[in-house]
Structure 1
Amino acid sequence: MPSDTDSPARSAGATLPYMSRTIALVGLMGAGKSTVGRRLAEKLGRDFYDSDTEIERAAGLSISDIFTLHGEEDFRRGEHQVLKRLLTLPPHVLATGGGAYLNDETRALMRQNAVTVWLNADLETLWRRVQKRDTRPLLKRPDAKAVLTNLLAEREPIYSQADLVVRSKDGPHINTVNAIYKALQTWKPD
């Protein structure tokens, strides 16, 4: 467990650049954004928001139901509006949906108001993780692994535009949290 002096939220006079910004976790489904995000928020002494949870709350529907009833395009419009609102809040940790960072406007808002961290996981890790839940609308197909493979190939070039890249591996989530924390210590805005 880190001591109080290890936590930037508690360090007297700490002025590292990331401290005035939201930490936005981006990456493909199964990368660990929600789980790692909660733990990172605890470590930093910040609030945590999960954009998918906020979207479900605003719509009164599950993500899966939104996709089914309204389609992906409407979902993405709503996602942008929710993220726009969340990015106006005081600095916090934000787990975003897998496709959120693909939207040019959303990505620009994140780059302006947050430190973006790509949780980069390999295909096999992602596949093992996403099979644990059947609530992922883009994977409700017989060829789900092929869909995931294609999504990873299509999205990696965009995710790589994040401010920081941290590997998300199997093992204790605290390892990923600590890797993000370490990377934040040397991050400087463009």
Structure 2
Amino acid sequence: MIFFTDKHIALVGLPGSGKSTIGRQLARRWSLPFIDADAVIEQRLGSSIRDFFAQHGEESFRDVEQQVIAGLLGDKRQMVIATGGGAVLRPANRAELGAHAFVVYLSAAPEEIAKRLHGDTQRPLLQVHNPMQRLLDLHAQRGPLYEEVAGLVVNEAGRPAVQVAQNVLQQLERLQKQSEADGARHANKEN
């Protein structure tokens, strides 16, 4: 049985926290479609996010991102969605995630992400003089927002993606069994 069959599974977290990698593994496990929101955005833009940022700025990007997130979450087919790191910045996105998805926050230490993303040139917000400081700032700004929307927080603590995905799967399956047991107890009380 697929976890929370009426909702999507959405992954949130800092850039480089493993949302796409782990999302693909979750989707494979449950035979669900996997959608990387950033890839859908790039397809819609006809350019890379980095180039769009450079030409139009972050606010214009966030407008497109909001449209894409609403479209994905409005799809009736259940899927696993990896959101962009800043998707939670807009209240409308947080509301959509809360209404249409079970959200998993992949919590990763900024120091760990900095090691993983060393030399990355694709993430526009990290193309700064001090990427480590930028990650610390993003974590301070976004961490509370990730926690606000999350139904499950998984701290990856530098573990390989396969182990993190397995941990997420186990926790989701445990939550599903608990939800089913609670539903059965509720049904028995009514009878």
Q: TM-score range by the shorter chain?
A: 0.7 to 0.9
CA contact (8 A) 1:32 1:168 kept: no
**Which residue is equivalent to 2:66?**
80
Query: Which runs of no fewer than 5 residues in structure 2 stay unpaired?
Result: 180-191
| Length-normalised TM-score, structure 2 | 0.86
**Which residue is equivalent to 2:163?**
175
Q: State the SS of the aligned residue for 2:5.
A: helix
**Which residue is equivalent to 2:35?**
49
**Which residue is equivalent to 2:14?**
28
Residue from 47, 71, 94 that aligns with 1:107: 94
**Which residue is equivalent to 1:38?**
24
Query: Which runs of no fewer than 5 residues in structure 1 stay unpaired?
Result: 1-7, 10-15
1:84-163 map, 5 Å: 84-89=70-75, 90-161=77-148, 162-163=150-151
Q: 1:182 corresponds to which letter in structure 2?
A: Q
Q: 1:107 to 1:134 in 2, by over 3 A?
A: same
Question: 1:22, 1:169 → 2: CA distance?
Answer: 25
Question: 2:120, 2:38 → 1: CA distance?
Answer: 15
Post-superposition offset of 1:168? 2.0
**Which residue is equivalent to 1:60?**
46
Q: 2:162 corresponds to which letter in structure 1?
A: I
Q: Which runs of 4+ in 1 moved over 4 A?
A: none
| Length-normalised TM-score, structure 1 | 0.87
- Alpha-carbon RMSD across the aligned residues, in angstroms, is 1.4
Q: 2:27 corresponds to which letter in structure 1?
A: A
Post-superposition offset of 1:181? 1.5
Post-superposition offset of 1:132? 4.6
Post-superposition offset of 1:155? 1.1
Deviation larger for 159-168 or 56-65: 159-168
